[in-house]
Amino acid sequence: MWTVEFTVALVLVLAAGTVVAVANARMRRVPHPQGLSGRGLPLLDTAFLAGGPARAADTALVRMQQEGRVIVSRAGTVTVTDSYPRDAVEAALIDAAGPARQIQVDALRRAVARSAAVQDIGNRLADRGLMRRPDRHRAVVVARRFLGLALVATVVLGVVAMVSWATRTFSDRYDGAPPIFPFAALLVLGIVLMVTTRPDRSRITPAGRRQLSLMQDGTPWRPHDVAAPAAALLVLGALALEGTDELEDEELRAALAARQLATSTSSGSDSGSSSSCGGSVTWCGSSDSGSGSSSSSCGSSSCGSSSNSCGSSSSSCGSSGSSCSSGSSCGSSCGGGCGGGS
């Protein structure tokens, strides 16, 4: 009889389906659900949500530059002139500059984007339900692959069972129903699980997209947690939501653009497995992209960037304060933004 083949297929599909369901529920769980903050989301949280850790690093750098606390040359050299940080991200930026208080902007940006302070912003947004944690998103992807293999095994076992049933004697063959129907039902169950657990490529949740929509619609957004002239607030708001193309400072924009060009050039040869740096960065890696999603890159702030390169920066890969999962990239490509939007 074909009961042995069906039992094996049933166990495989149910086991893989259970793993997928648990991983999907874990990805969608919101530890500390909160309502949307309207247009009152903090500046760096907004930058992270819209553009990932790279955008948050850019925003912190530009804020300090506008305040005259760092100098960014057209060649891309950052000089820190005020070594007293006002928050944890600025502390990470100053530390990355080193004792000489001078560093190239691309190396500085990667170090700040991978710092514990910036990574914690992603954790905070995930706790609020605005973003999906990338390690949990990857767990769903891996579990779905196992489910796919289980479905392939089900097809193979179904074919074996049909051949076995068809080769029996006439009297034995019609002693019971053909096995095609139980196997078909099992395949339908697996396909339903695949469809219902499919995660979006974007890491931003529907709530996160609504949050960004509230801030992008209407009058130009200005952060409420920064003390600065109105014109400077508009620049920072545009930078956080849209990226460095919104900067009016031509010298600063040229320095950041040169850095992005160098990063995109090196990414082709340096890209590798997302855990190739072996660091502890959570909100890095994955070439997730999607409509309205933020970039996943620590090396490029353009939305939807798919670079996953491990840059040549000598800075340490990540911080011990940020959990690491296999698959997270820590090179010039990092990014938490493009996360799950399902």
189, 150 in Cβ contact below 8 A? no
Confidence of residue 16 (pLDDT cuts 50, 70, 90): very high
Strand ranges in 53-156 using DSSP code E only, listed in sequence order: 70-72, 77-80, 102-104
Q: Please give the mean pLDDT across all residues of the chain.
A: 75
DSSP annotation of 318 reads S
292, 204 in Cβ contact below 8 A? yes
Which has the minimum average pLDDT: 123-127, 212-216, 257-261? 257-261
123-163 tens-digit pLDDT: 999 988 899 888 888 889 999 999 999 999 999 998 888 88
At residue 24, φ and ψ (nearest 5 deg) are -65, -40
Q: How many CB atoms lie within 10 A of CB 111?
A: 26
HEC sequence for 207-222? HHHHHHHHHHCCCCCC
| 244 vs 30: CA distance, rounded Å | 31
User: Is residue 204 helix, strand or coil?
Assistant: strand
Predicted confidence at residue 18, as pLDDT, reads: 92
Q: How many CA atoms lie within 13 A of 189 on its CB side?
A: 21
244, 58 in Cβ contact below 8 A? yes
